């Protein structure tokens, strides 16, 4: 234990004497006795390092890793091939150990790659400016709603039923304490979602996802026009940035703010993290955008350099003037994203997106022929919803026993909605082989027989 707890008994006695107390317990004398534990918590006592490693390996083996199975998981976290170059570069010490640039202009390398990242996000989303990243897609969405309130000076927000439920919950939690009137539309596996019908003179924004949580792809141009006619902003959420290599960018459909998740490019799914928030908007709104913005300039000697152009966090300016209390950006994940996009290039990203869509089309056709499976999503990118003849959770559990991760049961997100019980969300990427699809179709057929 001395490897991790190097203090001796004499060290502790000396420290306690310097503080002026007789024991470590005396340090807790201001804590009410009623909240102190009367006995140890129900956890095992200390064990050797080898024993602890063996215990955690056992825990890990209880999970079926997507890397060891035929995986069709998606729902906001997607598994793509990550070139070895990405990990090689981000693990260089100058990148891996760097953190928030508190003396930013000294960190020219960090600022340059963040500038390139911003440029890539702006180009992908069809927007004019992007920030240096945020925590994840959910908090980026909440920040977008708060920004819309500042821009429009309104406090009513409409959240589409097709918005990822985690994003809805994070946004609602943030808005609750800011006095927002958040209207959440009911989720539906059909195309019944029409946010434009809820617009009024008090609406600050409408938040929609494309492709949405059910996998549906839509033309958002009519909704953008309706929002602008009502004086509201359109916020578009993108959880699968690979789709932007094939679909019309949100900015080209009239979006005012784009919030999204960058994990699928350069970052492994890793059982849910770390993730990367994307945020882009129109230049006229730039001073209301949260987070940091890196800009390019010229120094006194005429050399190109990079600076923090805007940094509207509460750590940098007066709290009442801050646009966000998010205290950092996902810098290393942003670098991984940027390297992956650079390696792909415009044509490579387009080919990757087209390959993902082709895989999903093949899978949809294959599943449509399985008795007991109905494909509900007719316009999709690489993810679609199917309805099964029995509860999807039961089928997913049965297929997991066969080494197949069949997708995400929608009842996991909506446990109180009986209509969600038969719905299964299935994603297909370039990593899903024809053999994987055959196994899934065969497994579903047997589970539903």
pLDDT along the chain (449 residues), means of 10: 73 94 89 88 87 91 86 96 96 79 78 95 98 94 97 98 97 94 88 88 98 97 98 98 98 98 95 91 95 90 90 62 70 95 98 98 98 97 98 97 96 96 98 97 97
What the block records as the tokens of 86 is 């990405």
Enter the CATH code of domain 69-81+346-448: 3.90.1150.10
| Through-space distance between the first and last CA atoms of the chain, rounded to whole angstroms | 56
Domain ranges of the chain: 1-31, 69-81+346-448, 84-341
User: What's the fold here for domain 84-341?
Assistant: 3.40.640
User: What is the distance between the alpha carbons of residues 56 and 108, in angstroms, rounded to a whole number?
Assistant: 40
**Burial state string for 421-439 with b = 16 or more CB within 10 A and e = fewer than 16:** bbbbbbbbbbbbeeebbeb
pLDDT score at 2:
53
Please tell me the predicted confidence (pLDDT) of residue 1. Answer: 44
Instruction: Give how far Cα 180 sits from Cα of 137, 150, 156, Å.
Output: 20, 12, 6
Q: What is the pLDDT of residues 216-262, one digit of tens each?
A: 999 999 999 999 999 999 999 999 999 999 999 999 999 999 999 99
Q: Do domains 69-81+346-448 and 84-341 have the same CATH topology?
A: no
Which of 349, 77, 399 lies closest to 213 in space, CA to CA? 77
Residue 257 and residue 207: Cα distance in Å, rounded? 9
Instruction: Give the model's pLDDT for residue 329.
Output: 62
Query: Could you write out the DSSP letters of every residue in 336-390?
Result: HHHHHHHHHHHHHHHHHHHHHHHHHHHHHHHHHTSTTEEE--SSBSSEEEEEESS
């Amino acid at each position: 234990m001395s490897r991790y707890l190097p203090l001796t008994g004499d060290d502790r006695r000396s420290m306690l004497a310097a503080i002026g107390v007789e024991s470590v317990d005396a340090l807790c004398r201001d804590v009410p006795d009623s909240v102190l534990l009367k006995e140890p918590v129900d956890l095992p006592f200390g064990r050797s390092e080898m024993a602890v490693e063996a215990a955690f390996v056992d825990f890990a083996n209880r999970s079926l890793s997507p890397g060891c199975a035929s995986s069709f998981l998606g729902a906001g976290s997607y598994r793509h091939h990550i070139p070895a170059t990405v990990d090689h570069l981000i693990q260089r010490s100058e990148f891996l150990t760097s953190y928030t640039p508190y003396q930013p202009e000294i960190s020219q390398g960090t600022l340059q790659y963040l500038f390139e990242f911003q440029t890539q996000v702006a180009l992908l989303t069809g927007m004019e400016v992007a920030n240096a990243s945020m925590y994840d897609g959910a908090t980026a969405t909440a920040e977008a709603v708060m920004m819309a309130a500042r821009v429009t000076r309104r406090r009513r927000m409409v959240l589409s039923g097709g918005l990822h439920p985690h994003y809805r919950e994070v946004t609602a939690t943030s808005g609750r304490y800011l006095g927002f009137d958040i209207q959440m539309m009911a989720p539906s596996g059909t195309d019944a979602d029409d946010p434009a019908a809820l617009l009024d003179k008090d609406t600050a924004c409408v938040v929609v996802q494309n492709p949405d949580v059910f996998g549906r792809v839509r033309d958002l141009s009519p909704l953008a026009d309706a929002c602008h006619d009502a004086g509201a902003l359109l916020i578009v959420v993108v959880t699968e940035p690979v789709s932007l290599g094939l679909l019309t960018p949100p900015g080209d459909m009239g979006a005012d703010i784009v919030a999204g998740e960058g994990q699928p490019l350069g970052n492994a799914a890793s059982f849910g993290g770390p993730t990367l928030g994307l945020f882009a908007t129109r230049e006229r709104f730039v001073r209301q955008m949260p987070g940091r913005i890196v800009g390019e300039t010229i120094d006194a000697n005429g050399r190109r350099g990079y600076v923090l152009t805007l940094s509207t966090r509460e750590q940098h300016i007066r709290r009442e003037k801050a646009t966000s209390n998010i205290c950092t950006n996902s810098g290393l994940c942003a670098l991984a994203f940027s390297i992956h996009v650079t390696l792909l290039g415009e044509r490579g990203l387009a080919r990757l997106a087209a390959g993902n869509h082709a895989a999903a089309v093949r899978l949809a056709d294959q599943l449509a022929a399985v008795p007991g499976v109905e494909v509900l999503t007719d316009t999709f990118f690489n993810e679609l919803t199917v309805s099964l003849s029995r509860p999807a959770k039961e089928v997913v559990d049965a297929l997991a026993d066969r080494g197949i991760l069949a997708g995400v049961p929608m009842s996991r997100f909506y446990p109180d909605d009986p209509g969600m019980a038969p719905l299964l969300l299935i994603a297909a990427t370039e990593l899903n082989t024809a053999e994987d699809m055959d196994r899934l179709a065969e497994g579903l057929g047997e589970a539903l027989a």
